[in-house]
Each structure stands twice: as C-alpha cells, then as structure tokens.
Structure 1
C-alpha cells in the first residue's frame, strides 16, 4: 500500500466524480443512502445504547456508500447487499470494522463530552436529538462556544476516520493503523481536501439558492397555498439536502482511490475495487 500525493485541483475532480457517479444510478444511490440513514435512526431507538450504536454504524455506512460508488463506476448496479458488505468479508475484517465503529463512537462522544464543559451539555443534547433547537438556545453564547469547539475537535476526528473504512475493507489494515494512515493521507493531501471541502460548500450553497428560486417561483404561480407553502418548501429542502448528502458520500471513494494504490489482487465483484 503506497500513499499518493495529488495536486490541489484534484479536490474539484473528486466533487465532480461524486456527482457524476450518483447520476449514473440516482435511484439506487439515493435509496441506499436513505436506507443507511434509516438504519442509523432505528439504532438510536435501542434503549440506553441507541445513540452510541448509531454512531458506531457510521464507518460501515460510509463503506457501504463507497462500495456502491465503486460498483456504479464499474458499470454494475449497486444492490442493497452492499449495505452489509462490512459484515460479509470474513471474521477478521468484521471484527476490525466493529472495533473501528466502537472507536468512532467513543471519539465522537468524547467530543460531545468536552463541549459540555462550555454549556453544561446543551449542545450535545440538541445535536443528539434530546433537546429541540429554539431561537433562544441558538443565541446562547455558551451554546455557540460549545458548537464551535465541537466543530474544531470534530475535524481531526473526521480525518482520522476518513479513509479508515476503506483501508480496513480493501487493504486489510488493522483499525488503529488505518486511523494513522488515514490522517497522514489527509494531511499530506491537505490542499486537495481543502479544495474538495470548498467545492462541496459551493454545491450545497448553490442547492440552497436553487430551492429558494424554485420555491419563490412556485409561490408566485400559486402552486402552494398560504397554509401549505411552509411545509412544501420544507419538504423540498429536505429532499434536496438528502440528494446532495448522497452525492457527497458517493464522492468519498474517489478521495480514497486517488490517495492509495489499489489492492492486489483485485477484490471480488461484491467488494468492488475503488
């Protein structure tokens, strides 16, 4: 396994590739993304350990979208079977993915716990769904401090786990080593990842503008009544956000593919090479 250093402009190529591969199989990719999110939402319903269990599933969900994108790139239709790919590649890799999920849950909860030092845990309660967001909460200075601290701490956590699922699945790297290789790859290619992040910010901003324009046009045409307009516009925004999030997750495999040499020998079809 060899690390590749790519130019900063590659970040835009990753964004374009994610959008392109999503639209190759839009219904399949959107459905798979929705199912991964639904599985994580259902996991939160488990008493006591629900939120931690949902967090632990995120690396496996990310891997599922990476495999789905790799399948689509190779001209194959990504089926729901990819959702279980992390659990079908042998006991050792299954164990490694479970450890990776546990480490992610511990890291994320540690970030939330640290943020509680600034606002008594209010931001953590809102983020984890235990407290509804209100204007009063949003304007609370302590809440805002906790939010920015959490964002600052989540960035290195995200870099640690960015490539880790792919390294465990395609290269058989143990969990702790995969975290090390992941953050090294991200830091060595920081220019490309910065452009990548800015590119997706632009895509999401453009999506928001598009929804505003479409909503305004439909309101002018009288498509929505005064009573139904807020709900309809909200539904459009949620739908577009889901599509853009699915495109974002579809792009992750391209960052992995360009940062590491492909594994040898090639993986089986159900475990498509990125």
Structure 2
C-alpha cells in the first residue's frame, strides 16, 4: 500500500465525482442511506446501550456507501444496475463485519471520551443534549460554559473524524487491521489536508446552496398553507426539508470513496 500526496484541487474533483456516482443511481444511494440510517436509529432505541451501539454501526454505514460508489466506477461510462450498487454495499459489509464492529467499538469509545472531556467545561449539559436528546433552551445555549464545551467537542472531533475517514476502506480494500487503519487514515488526512479542506469547503457551499433552495420551497409551501391551502402544504414543506437534508447526506457519503481512492494505491 502506498500513500499518495494529491494537490488541493483534488478536493473539488472528489465532490464532482461523488455527485456523478450518486446521479448514476440516485434511488439506490438514497435507499442505501435510509437503510443504514434505519439500522442506526433502531439500535439507538435499545435501552442502556442504544446510543453506544448506534456509534458502533457508523463505520459500517461509511463502508457500505463507499463500496456503492466504487461499484459505479467498475465500468467507466456505463450506468450500473441499481441492484448491483445495493448488493456491492451489502457484500462489503458482510465480508468485513467483524473488523467493522471492532473499528466501530473503538470509534464509540473515542467519541464518548470526547463528550466526557467536554463535560468538564459545563458539567455535561452539552453531552446530555447531544447524546441523550435532552431539551436545549436558549438560556442554556447562551451560557459560556455550554459554548466552551461545544467548541472543545468540535476541536476534538475533527482529528477523530480524520482518524476514521479512511479506516473502513483501508480494512476492506487493503486488509489493514483496525488499529493500524486508524493510524494510516490520520496520517493520510494530514498529508492531504489541503485537498480535504477544499473538499469540505466545496461541500459546505453545496449544502448552503441546496439549503437555500429547499428553504425557499418550504417557505412557499408554508405560505400557501397559511393562505388557505390547508395543512397539507405545510406538511409537504416539512417533509421536503427533512428529505432534502437526508438526500444531501447521501450525496456526501457517496463522495468519500474518491478521496480514499486517490490517497492510497497498491505498492
């Protein structure tokens, strides 16, 4: 396995390739994302261990969608069947389920540690809101301790996310053990931090642009409902807002594999 150093402009390329892969079979990618999100949601409902188990399953979702993206590039210029995209994701997860669960357990432990460190600043208010779904009031959000905890969690989560960015793919395509995959992922992300920064900025622009469009449509539907169109228009606007956010998330995950493909190659 060889680490490739790529130029910063590759970040834009990864976004474009991810969108192209998504639009080859959008229904397959949306179905996959909803399938994995449903698994995470069901796991989170289990008493006591639900929240931790949901964290454990996140690398599984990442690998599944990366494998789906990889399947769209097997034959360049050819649109793959939706079934082959879906099955590629499930086959990858089934093949590496045990190491994925080990990787997920490490991720869950590190994430809970981040939340624990942030709790030192505000007594656990932010962690309670994020992990346990406790209600957040405006007064609590404006407290200095709460904001410090938020920034601590964000600062610690960035290197954590980079450490697990390539880890599922390294295990699947290069047979790297879980702990080593975390280390190699962190090194690769820091060596290609320019491209990843551009990748994040471009995706932020895409999300903002899509959010503006969805908000305008939602506002129009709400206005129609207020003018006598009934509650149906408002309900459609709310569904459009939530559905649009989930579709954008599926698009984002479809582009992660391209950052891995360009960062590593066979030696």
Q: Same fold (TM over 0.5)?
A: yes
- Asked whether the 8 Å contact 1:224–1:232 carries over to 2, the reply is no
Distance 1:113 1:56 in 2: 17
TM-score, structure 2 as length reference? 0.90
Cα distance 1:209–1:262, how it changes in 2: closer, same or farther (>3 A)? farther
Alignment of 1:19-58 (within 5 A): 19-58=19-58
Cα distance 1:118–1:68, how it changes in 2: closer, same or farther (>3 A)? same
Q: Which residue of 2 aligns with 1:70?
A: 70
CA deviation string 1:112-161 (max 9, x = no partner): 11111111111111112430233233222222111111010000000100
- Superposed displacement of residue 11, structure 1: 0.2
Distance 2:12 2:154 in 1: 23
Distance 1:71 1:253 in 2: 10
Distance 1:247 1:118 in 2: 35
Q: Which residue of 2 aligns with 1:259?
A: 263
Counterpart selection for 2:194 from 166, 188, 191 = 191
Cα distance 1:158–1:224, how it changes in 2: closer, same or farther (>3 A)? same
- Superposed displacement of residue 98, structure 1: 1.9
Q: Which residue of 1 aligns with 2:206?
A: 203
Counterpart selection for 2:125 from 122, 127, 136 = 122
Question: Which region of structure 1 is more displaced relative to structure 2, 117-126 or 27-36?
Answer: 117-126
Q: Which residue of 1 aligns with 2:156?
A: 153
The answer on 1:88 being equivalent to 2:94 is yes
TM-score, structure 1 as length reference? 0.87
- Superposed displacement of residue 73, structure 1: 2.8
Counterpart selection for 2:114 from 111, 117, 122 = 111
- Asked whether the 8 Å contact 2:66–2:89 carries over to 1, the reply is no
Q: Which residue of 1 aligns with 2:246?
A: 242
Q: What is the root-mean-square deviation in Å for CA atoms of aligned residues?
A: 2.0
Report the secondary structure of 2:164's partner residue: helix
- Asked whether the 8 Å contact 1:55–1:104 carries over to 2, the reply is yes
- Asked whether the 8 Å contact 1:118–1:142 carries over to 2, the reply is yes
Cα distance 1:136–1:177, how it changes in 2: closer, same or farther (>3 A)? same
Question: Which region of structure 1 is more displaced relative to structure 2, 132-141 or 187-196?
Answer: 132-141
- Superposed displacement of residue 195, structure 1: 0.3
Report the secondary structure of 1:6's partner residue: coil
- Superposed displacement of residue 94, structure 1: 3.6
Q: Which residue of 2 aligns with 1:269?
A: none
Aligned length in residues: 259
Distance 2:257 2:197 in 1: 17
- Superposed displacement of residue 80, structure 1: 4.2
- Superposed displacement of residue 95, structure 1: 3.1
- Asked whether the 8 Å contact 2:64–2:93 carries over to 1, the reply is no
CA deviation string 1:59-98 (max 9, x = no partner): 1110000011111233433454445435532xxx443222
Cα distance 1:102–1:27, how it changes in 2: closer, same or farther (>3 A)? same
Q: Provide structure 1 residue ranges, at least 5 long, that are not aligned to the other structure.
A: 264-274
